[in-house]
Every structure is written in C-alpha cells, then in structure tokens.
Amino acid sequence: MSYTHLTTAERVKIETYLGLGMSVRSIARRLGRQPSTVSREIRRNPGYTAERAQERYAKAKGNCGAKTKLDDMMRRTIIEKLRATWSPEQIVGRLFDGEIAFSTIYRWIYSGLIDVPVTVLRQKGKRRKPVETRGRFNIGLSISKRPPEVRGRQTFGHWELDTVVSGRGKSRACVATFIERKSRFYLALPIADRSAASMEEAIHTVHAAFPAGTFKTATTDRGKEFSCHERVRATLGVPMYFADPYSSWQRGSNENANGLLREFFPKGSRRSAKERSWTRSPRSTGGRGNVSAGRPHTRPSRRKCCA
C-alpha cells in the first residue's frame, strides 16, 4: 500500500486529539495511520497546530519534485502584474502563453512560491469559486491582518466563528459556533436561520455573556451570514477577520470542533439542535500547555431554530 501524505483534515484532528490528551498511538488508530507517521508529524512541528503544520508542508512541497519553471525574472513579473490588478489568466495569455498554465500561478500563490496575498486574485473577479449555496462576499479584513498574538494563541479573547446546518430537506436546524483560540472553549448556539441578522444577534448574545475584554476579535469564512461584520465592529468594537478561500485549516480549531459537535447532534437531529445549546469547557493537562475537553453539557435554550 503506497504512502499518502497527511491531509489538512487529519492535521486538524491531530491538533484536537493532542488537546484532548490522547497518546500518539490512540491518535494514529483513529486516523488509520501508522504511529510513526503521527509521531514524525508532531516531532517536525513543536507546539503542534494544524495551521503551522500545513504551512510548513505547503512550503516543503513547493520546494520538492520536478524543477519549477518559476525563475526570479518570471516571479518578479507575475508579482508586478498581480499588484497591477492583472488576473493569472491575463498574465499567462499576454506574457507566458505556451510556457505555463494560469492554474500554475494559482498553485504558486497558494504554496507560497509567489509571495502575494490571495486578495490580489479578487480584484479582477477572475477567481474560480466553489459551489456555495449560501452566497459569499469579498470585502472585509483579511486573516493576514490579524495581530501576531491571535495567530500564536498568546492571549485570551480571540474567537473563531462558523455556522453548522444539521438536518435534511427544507427544514434545517442552524447553529452558530464559537471557539476561543487560546483556551479552546467551545460554544454552540441555535439560531433562526443562516442569515446575517441571525448571526449578528448570536454574536451580541455571546459578547454580552462574557466579561468586558474577553471578545476581542473574530475569525470567520466569507459566508454571507458574516456580512454583518461592519455593524459588529461599529456596535461592539470587535473586528472580524476572514480566512482565505480553500483554507479551512486557517480556522482549524473551529472546523474540527464542529465535527465533534455532530457526534452529539448528527444530521437529522433537528429537535435536539432546536432545543439545546452546547458548550465544551477545556481544562489544562500541563506539560505542553494542551487542553482536554471537559464533560460536554447541555442546557435548555429559549431561542428557536428553523421550524
């Protein structure tokens, strides 16, 4: 059986399982991997986080294999044109037709071989997008603008936000999820629907439930429910930062916690999602500063979700 590299999802799970205090062998068994694979991954990335591990992997991958066609002259030209709002399609069509494919430029950007923010790809509207039924928007603060202490999980009060839809058919139970990056404290709150108004209400509810100064920033994807970001900043003083497209690992804590939520509220459990909110409280395990989950508990909620 040929070896396959760890995926982004597996790296997110490794971070979460380490936080739960699981051993290397237990993690490997859950992933269906050899213990040596997991051990090597952790050893290569001290103070393990899925975000940093994925970045390291992408950088290493960009430096291996067949020799790239990207030389210094081509790199400078591509960067210059991207900053001048050219799209990768235009760059290839006008300057490098027959030499490279426009998809290669996208790949170089995502792997870090071309050092420009991905926001340059949106200026011409040429960026290919995944099918997303809830809609998306392209304004707001990029995740690259977050203060250093947010990425390093150095201070309390920086949250990752998302929405989870559970159920099938026309009736869908909707949940707004919040996870604090430093402590991994996780909270899921039923909301009426996946709209900006419902998400804004949920953010105000959570903000009011905690002491001042404990909800400093929020990191989300670009789903339309987060188009309330300007009002949130104006009313609460909380800036919202947006992850890059195709980069769920940039919000790894929230992505994996949502997966754990589905263990308690699987698809089809509309009644449970309507009636309950859910929290996961971490407790310290010492050593590397990891955390493990406290006993999950539920409490009745007066908030109604999708009828």
pLDDT surpassing 70 at residue 280: no
Higher pLDDT, 234 or 293: 234
Is residue 47 located within the same domain as residue 99? no
From residue 6, alpha-carbon distances to 12, 62, 78, 90 in Å are: 10, 16, 31, 34
Is residue 37 located within the same domain as residue 79? no
**Which one-letter amino acid corresponds to residue 51?**
E
Cα gap 38→41, rounded to integer Å:
5
DSSP H or E run through 299: strand 297-300
Residue 148 lies inside a defined structural domain of this protein: yes
**Residue 129 neighbours by CB under 8 Å, 6+ apart:** 136, 245
pTM of full prediction above 0.85: no
Sign of the Cα torsion 53, 59, 64, 65 reads positive
Least-confidence region, from 120-129, 179-188, 280-289: 280-289
Is residue 226 located within the same domain as residue 263? yes
The mean pLDDT value for 159-173 works out to 71
Is residue 179 located within the same domain as residue 210? yes
Is residue 24 located within the same domain as residue 170? no
Is residue 154 located within the same domain as residue 292? yes
What is the three-state SS of 176-190?
EEEEECCCCCEEEEE
From residue 49, alpha-carbon distances to 70, 77, 154, 224, 244 in Å are: 30, 34, 13, 28, 18
By residue range, what is the domain housing residue 14? 8-54
Cα gap 108→114, rounded to integer Å:
6
**What's the pLDDT at 26?**
94
Residue 61 lies inside a defined structural domain of this protein: no
Residue 159 lies inside a defined structural domain of this protein: yes
**What's the pLDDT at 108?**
86
Residue 194 lies inside a defined structural domain of this protein: yes
**Which one-letter amino acid corresponds to residue 34?**
Q
Cα gap 159→154, rounded to integer Å:
13
Is residue 33 located within the same domain as residue 111? no
**What's the pLDDT at 64?**
60
Q: Which two tokens stand for residue 51?
A: 């975000």
- Reported as a pLDDT band with limits 50, 70 and 90, residue 173 is low
Residue 260 lies inside a defined structural domain of this protein: yes
Is residue 23 located within the same domain as residue 49? yes
**What's the pLDDT at 107?**
84
Is residue 181 located within the same domain as residue 100? no
pLDDT tens column, 105-128? 888 887 778 878 777 775 443 444
pLDDT surpassing 80 at residue 305: no
Domains in the chain, number: 3
The mean pLDDT value for 254-282 works out to 58
Output the average pLDDT for the chain. 76
Residue 152 lies inside a defined structural domain of this protein: yes
Residue 305 lies inside a defined structural domain of this protein: no
Higher pLDDT, 282 or 296: 282
Is residue 108 located within the same domain as residue 29? no
**What's the pLDDT at 215?**
96
